[in-house]
Amino acid sequence: MSTVHEERLKYPLIRKNGDLQRASWDEAMFFIVKKTKDLQKRLMNHGISFYASGQLFLEEYYVLARVGKAGLNTLHMNGNTRLCIASAAASMRESFGFDGQPGSYTDIDITDCLSIVGHHSSATQAVLWSRILNTLEAPDLPKHRCSSSIVQKPRSGRLFVWPPKN
């Protein structure tokens, strides 16, 4: 998973003279505040915008909204779901008559086998991936729960099956 990748940054970096240099957390926060104030002064309050991921948790969206609207006084906030999902929404509307996904998170809990094809959910859908792992590994879930998962990764041609076969 991307949150535990060996190359994930563990400290802030600030570009100085064209090179990224390690900084303290206080120095990084001061730098962000200074640059943000400079932008607000130059572009006015609404010169700053947020284009957020579609995979944040509700609490993260709340903090982002408070920082953007109350802290920075910007109305320019959007999630990538508006553009990212536009083609999928049109396809689902054409196929199913509505633009939502045909299944739900609770379907994961009760299915016999979950097949994931061409989607790297562990890296791109943290909420979904957490739900899948909890469902596959929790011994106290209902009897008719997802007991196996098949993941096909087209780029590598690899097939993963849960639980692993001996």
Domain boundary among 82, 115, 133: 82
Q: What is the pLDDT of residue 28?
A: 97
- Please spell the DSSP secondary structure of 79-148, one letter per residue: ETHHHHTHHHHHHHHHHHSSSS-SS-HHHHHH-SEEEEES--HHHH-HHHHHHHHHHHH-TTS-SSS--E
Convert the pLDDT of each residue in 71-112 to its tens digit: 888 888 888 777 777 777 888 888 888 877 777 888 887 777
User: What is the pTM assigned to this prediction?
Assistant: 0.48
- The DSSP symbol for 67 reads I
Domain-embedded: residue 18: yes
The reply to whether 60 falls in a domain is yes
Based on the fold, state whether residues 78 and 128 are members of the same structural domain: no
Q: Is residue 17 part of a domain?
A: yes
9 and 76, same domain (yes or no)? yes
Would 90 be classed as within a structural domain?
Answer: no
Percent of all residues in the chain with a pLDDT value above 90, rounded to a whole number: 18
| Residues 46 and 109 grouped into a single domain | no
- pLDDT one-digit tens code per residue, 136-156: 776 665 554 555 666 655 566
Last residue of a domain, one of 82, 111, 140: 82
Q: Among 6-15, 19-28, 62-71, 101-110, which stretch is predicted with the lowest mean pLDDT? A: 101-110
Domain that holds residue 32: 2-82
The Cα 138–Cα 160 span in angstroms is 19
Cβ atoms of 79 and 65 closer than 8 Å = no
Domain annotation covers residue 93: no
CA distance 160 to 162: 7
CA–CA dist 33, 164 (Å, integer): 49
7 lies in the same domain as 75: yes
> Can you tell me whether residue 48 is helix, strand or coil?
coil
Contact status, residue 116 vs residue 110, Cβ threshold 8 Å? no
How many domains is the chain built from?
A: 2
